[in-house]
A and B are shown apart, each in its own frame.
Chain A
Amino acid sequence: MPLIYPRESNAAHAPRLSPAYKSTVKRSPAKPLVIIPHTLSELTGPVYGHETVRENDNDLTIQHNGEPLGERIIVHGHVRDEDGRGVPNTLLEVWQANACGRYIHVVDQHPAPLDPNFTGAGRAQTDSKGYYRFVTIKPGAYPWGNHHNAWRPAHIHFSVFGYSFISRIVTQMYFPGDPLFAYDPIFNSVTDEKARMRMVSSFDLENTQPDWALCYRFDIVLRGRNATPLDND
């Protein structure tokens, strides 16, 4: 069943120019985007085999000889389309800071320790119902140079594909109740409050594993809906 991708759905995204997030000022297109029809080129997208995701790629706590430091957590949820149907066999890539808020990336020179047992990268594929699951360490908040005393709320970066090149999304998952939300221009670049709160995971006591790990649920909704819903009469 081919899906359609109404442009109106893009209203959930942040404006490309969001001046409080200073790097957008010189990196956002200033000329009008050109509206074109969705052709086969836009409506198709990459398909990957099981070779893309190796066993245990979804567990960021067992990639090294020892266990990483920090709070072990489970992050799970469903990837769905705009009609609520699970998106099966789609690829998710995640990357994040360690428990101290330090990225392994060479450019991150924030004076917090690296963890030799934590890289912070993972991958998973959704199952036939669109369900995915990661095991990781809760990332820390970290300072950045956007403005005086700027701190990013703790987050995990997500890259998701979906059915087509235009359903593809890169986003960030946040943790509920973070006191830094009000001060973060990246989080607040999404101006619609309901849309913004869809980036915040929820604490999931039911799937928290006793004596082992807290659990957070993060459901992701990608563009794409059925062209002819409820067309039976």
Chain B
Amino acid sequence: MSNITPSQTVGPYFKYGLTPGRDYQWNDAFSNDLVTPDVSGERIRIIGQVFDGDGKVVTDSMLEIWQADGQGRFADPLDTRALPNAAFKGFGRCGTDANGVFSFHTVKPGSVPGPGAKPQAPHILLAVFARGMTQQAITRIYFEDESANVADPILTLVPGDRRTTLIARRDHGGVTAYRFDVHLQGDDETVFFDL
């Protein structure tokens, strides 16, 4: 048995501490806009809704994303390749609103190395926290217009009939926009990973 501290639900009342916006006397450490003035790459918007097992929107969840920059480099000392986008952090946070909607403004990540130095298709890690979730559920956002998806070493581990839950669809909108809904449970349940 391990000695780690167990996870507990983020609960229903995290907003004033983690995503206060202008509603509380506290400041946001993170936002849903990852774009920095010096970032290169294609600017994109990701928008979606979170649903529970009854198909009801989840209005009190928090989503966090983690991604490489447009060149496929992570702003982390473990990634020893050069970091041309010095200010791009690659981390974002957004709470769902009264309609269960979340959105992120970021850049499309480049390809990053995968197992056995095999390249991975562009993707973003997404963690979902909510009341009723004893720990976060982690999934990945892939993009429907990336031909590299067919050879992606992670996507190919996902049962074929569930792979579509990980693919963001091109949507209308000014900047390039993608639609990515999260189904915590049910027929369309999003694929979550055992990490």
Contacts and interface: CB of A to CB of B under 8 A. Distances in A.
Are A and B interaction partners?
yes
Interface of A: 2, 5-16, 18, 21-48, 52-53, 63-64, 82, 91, 93-95, 97, 103-108, 119-123, 157, 159, 163-166, 168-172, 186-187, 189-190, 192, 194-196, 198-199, 220-223
Contacts, number: 255
A28 B17 contact: no
A217 B113 CA distance: 41
A198 B6 contact: yes
Contact of B17 (A48, A91, A95, A108): A95
B16 A120 contact: yes
Contact of A46 (B12, B24, B66, B192): B66
B127 A165 contact: yes
A37 B115 contact: yes
Contact of A36 (B9, B11, B186, B193): B193
Contact of A27 (B78, B113, B132): B132
Given A15-B134, A27-B58, 19 more contacts: A13-B7, A13-B135, A16-B134, A16-B135, A18-B134, A23-B132, A27-B131, A27-B185, A34-B159, A39-B112, A41-B74, A97-B13, A119-B16, A119-B25, A123-B29, A159-B17, A168-B136, A194-B1, A222-B5
A82 B29 contact: no
Chain B interface helix/strand/loop/mixed: loop
- Chain B interface size band reads 35 or more
A95 B29 CA distance: 13
Contact of A25 (B2, B53, B64, B190): B53
B154 interface: yes
A31 B8 contact: no
B53 A171 contact: no
29 contacts: A7-B194, A9-B4, A13-B134, A16-B133, A16-B134, A26-B56, A27-B58, A32-B194, A34-B157, A34-B191, A35-B194, A39-B114, A40-B79, A41-B112, A42-B195, A44-B79, A46-B91, A48-B89, A95-B14, A105-B12, A106-B23, A107-B12, A120-B16, A159-B10, A168-B64, A168-B127, A170-B9, A195-B4, A195-B6
